[in-house]
């Protein structure tokens, strides 16, 4: 996928090979579905299965609704209203995915607020310290190695 995004008009781009693009896309989606199914059946406990159900519900509802509005748009090709509704529905329905993830997180207590606050403070302080050291080092080294120009005269 990288050549397609980085150099879209080259020979290596998947847009130049639609069959290869379709096969690669289908294999990626198939691998994702297989991995999620395997994890659901073999690895997940009861709480994780409930969380997975919420996320799958949101994703299927979003993609199913998008497919419905796309089919409606194809059937009513001349209607501008159908196209407008289809595009609007796409963005509204795609919101179901993060909403379902949020429901899974909040309903099944996936958050540990003390851990989140602790990591935020530690990593924020570490980042601020590193930025200060970096810019302080730049200023000190610039002062050391830049020669002041002597006035000519």
Task: Grade residue 31 by pLDDT with cuts at 50, 70 and 90.
Answer: very high
Boundaries of every domain in the chain = 1-43, 45-111, 112-147
Tell me the pTM. 0.53
Which are the contacts of 52, defined by CB distance < 8 A and separation ≥ 6? 36, 39, 40, 44, 104
Pick from 53-57, 94-98, 130-134 the range whose average pLDDT is largest: 130-134
> Average of pLDDT values for 35-41?
87
Average pLDDT over residues 74-80: 73
């Amino acid at each position: 996928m990288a050549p397609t995004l980085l150099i879209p008009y080259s020979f290596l781009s998947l847009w130049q090979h639609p069959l290869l693009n379709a096969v690669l896309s289908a294999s990626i989606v198939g691998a994702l579905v297989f991995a999620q199914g395997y994890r659901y059946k073999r690895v997940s406990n009861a709480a994780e299965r409930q969380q997975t159900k919420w996320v799958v519900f949101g994703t299927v509802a979003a993609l199913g609704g998008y497919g419905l509005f796309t089919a409606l748009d194809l059937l009513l090709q001349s209607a501008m209203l159908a196209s407008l509704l289809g595009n609007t529905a796409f963005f509204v329905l795609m919101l179901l995915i993060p909403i379902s993830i949020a429901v899974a997180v909040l309903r099944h207590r996936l958050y540990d607020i003390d851990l989140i606050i602790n990591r935020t403070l530690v990593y924020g302080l570490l980042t601020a310290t590193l930025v200060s050291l970096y810019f302080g080092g730049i200023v000190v080294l610039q002062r050391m190695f830049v020669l002041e120009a002597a006035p000519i005269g």
